[in-house]
Amino acid sequence: MVRLHHTASAGVAELVDAKDLKSFGPKSPCGFESRPRYPASDPLHQKLYFQYFKSISLYSGYLSTGMVKAQSHDTYMPSAGWFPFTSRWSVLLLFATALLCGSVYAQTDRRDAEREDEQKQNRETPVLAGEAAIEVPVVDSVYIVGPGDMLTISIFATQYYNYTLPVHSDGTIVVPMIGKVDIRKSTLLEVRQLLRELLRREVRSGEILVSLYKPRKVKVTVSGAIRKPGVVILPATARVSEALDMTGGEIKDTTSLRNIVVRGPHGVRAIADLQRFYRIGDLDANPFVNSGDVIYFPKKDMSVGVFGAVNNSGWMDYKPGETLRSAIEVCQGLKAAAFLDSIEIVRFNPDHITTSSIHLSITNYDTNPNADIELQPKDLVLIREIPQFRRHDLIVIEGEVNYEGSYSILEGTTKLSDIIEQAGGFTADASLEEASITRRTDETERDKEFERLKQISPADMQEDEYEYFKARSRERVGQMVVNFKKLFLANDTTEDLYLRDGDYIEIPKLKNYIRVIGRVNNPGNIIFTDEWIFEDYITAAGGYGWRAEDGDVRVIKARTGELVDAEDYDDYSLEPGDTIWVPEEPEVKFWEIALEGLGVLSQIAGILGIVIAVSRIN
């Protein structure tokens, strides 16, 4: 049986019966897949490929005669098509087929090799998560060169030379033309100067550049009063704050950020102050880390307080040697209104119970070294502000005036009439009846009784509590009692109020109508008429509607929001903008009345039964 190669839909090479060749579409110049899809290095691939080309040769020969010889039965079978070619054309066809298949094989092998190289490179390249970036150019006078650093030496002479040299674990580098050079415990600046001096003996002229190509990685231990202590790996250009960030950056409420101990192999080498660094960006308070450092975050112990005219007041950790100047710097400096002539420092006496005050002037403290003092634990620094320092008193007026907006006033001097005059007076549509002044209230003026009643359901209130609650609910908080009509029409100066900072003056648009709402036939606005009473407006609105409660009509005053009984003519007078409300009669349900009646009758019957029973006993 003749078997030919075919690649199935799943991509697996298989040998198929030659008589089934018609069931497979031609997929190459040979009429089927050009080669098995196995890696070139696979022994199975090599074996199948050899058998495959052997079959190609035999099959091409049979194509020339139009017959295929069956291997098992030693007979010839008709091929898929008749090829009237001579043996010379058969040889050429076989040669072209071999070249084409080889080309496809080479291209596929190249793609497989590139894919394998890429996968291998991806496996070998580690992903450095959380690697700290270099914030600023490395300061050569500060950076200590150590094992793992990569240095670059560039020489610009008659020829250009460039060397990238690693610093070995013993602190040495091997420099061409010089040899081994010991650079242990040297700063980058010192290494640069040393190498230039040594290379200058070999290179008489030209420029020599020595630079840090890549900083080394260092292992640092972070411990103390933090939530996630541990060991972190950082570049040598990282600082203490980055070591904390690599642990998650989570600190406890008791963690001190001002007395962080940075301990190297030979003892304490620095004290970090991250609170100072975070607030004012002082890099000296956030030192670089070195290999083998242990960064210890202690708990809070003693503190100092700075309150008053500073930009960030409060308590902070006490740092030994802390001065008033440095404490103010950590508080992000003084405010412009700070009163520098009277700084008070409250300090505990030696008995640690009583206190005494120190008063000093720190005028020109930036340039006066005597205007400073060393603080002690638990000192309290009080910096007061200059009263009314560059303060503007403003009021706002809106509505029907010619020039709305904000106006500057002098408290105790500027009156309401002065501001109306500055605003260009009222417009023709101004409603003096509804004009109002609202004054900003202090939070300390809150009505505690009203706040308590707001938490209670009206059904649970006493009668007097409910009446007080209704009165306070209708009140406009902060509204001043001023009659604009008396002041500006009758020239009554007793209504001319002195204005204060934050006052808000509103002049509404004139409403020359009375609003009628509720159970009337045609609710809406009706033009105001002086002589009319509420019933006239209801008549003008079409009269009472169906189920109107005509005995309980209410009037809502536009200026105060007060709700009054419409029939109490002596308690009010209708004014433009007022609202007349006709309520609806409560809906009476027959079954509810019947049930209530049956309940009453049953109670009466029960009482009568008891009376009769008692009388019979007697």
The predicted pLDDT at position 31 comes to 39
Band of residue 91 on the pLDDT scale cut at 50, 70, 90: low
The predicted pLDDT at position 95 comes to 58
CA dist., res. 484 & res. 378, Å (int):
58
Band of residue 106 on the pLDDT scale cut at 50, 70, 90: low
- The pTM of this model reads 0.54
pLDDT at 72 over 80: no
Q: Which of 290-294, 314-318, 456-460 has the highest mean pLDDT?
A: 314-318
Residue 22 contacts residue 40 (beta carbons within 8 Å): no
Task: Find the range with the poorest average confidence among 236-245, 513-522, 552-561, 590-599.
Answer: 590-599
Edge-to-edge, what's the strand order for the sheet holding 380-385? 314-317, 303-308, 380-385, 338-348, 355-360
Task: Find the range with the poorest average confidence among 21-30, 106-115, 512-521, 578-587.
Answer: 21-30
The predicted pLDDT at position 404 comes to 95
Band of residue 63 on the pLDDT scale cut at 50, 70, 90: very low
The predicted pLDDT at position 590 comes to 64
CA dist., res. 98 & res. 479, Å (int):
102
pLDDT: which is higher, 66 or 359: 359
CA dist., res. 23 & res. 444, Å (int):
95
CA dist., res. 280 & res. 69, Å (int):
92
pLDDT tens across 3-40, in order? 444 444 333 344 444 444 444 444 433 433 344 444 44
Helix axes 43-65, 87-124, angle to 10 degrees: 160
- CA-nearest of 537, 542, 525 to 566 is 537
The predicted pLDDT at position 570 comes to 78
Per-chain mean pLDDT for the chain:
78
Tokens of 120: 């291998």
Residue keyed to tokens 């992000």: 332
pLDDT tens across 182-229, in order? 998 888 999 999 998 888 888 888 888 999 888 888 899 999 999 889
Band of residue 109 on the pLDDT scale cut at 50, 70, 90: low
The percentage of residues in the chain with a pLDDT greater than 70, rounded to a whole number, is: 75
The predicted pLDDT at position 191 comes to 92
The predicted pLDDT at position 48 comes to 45
CA dist., res. 535 & res. 567, Å (int):
9
The predicted pLDDT at position 420 comes to 95
Query: What is the bridge-based pairing of β-strands 294-297 and 217-224?
Result: parallel
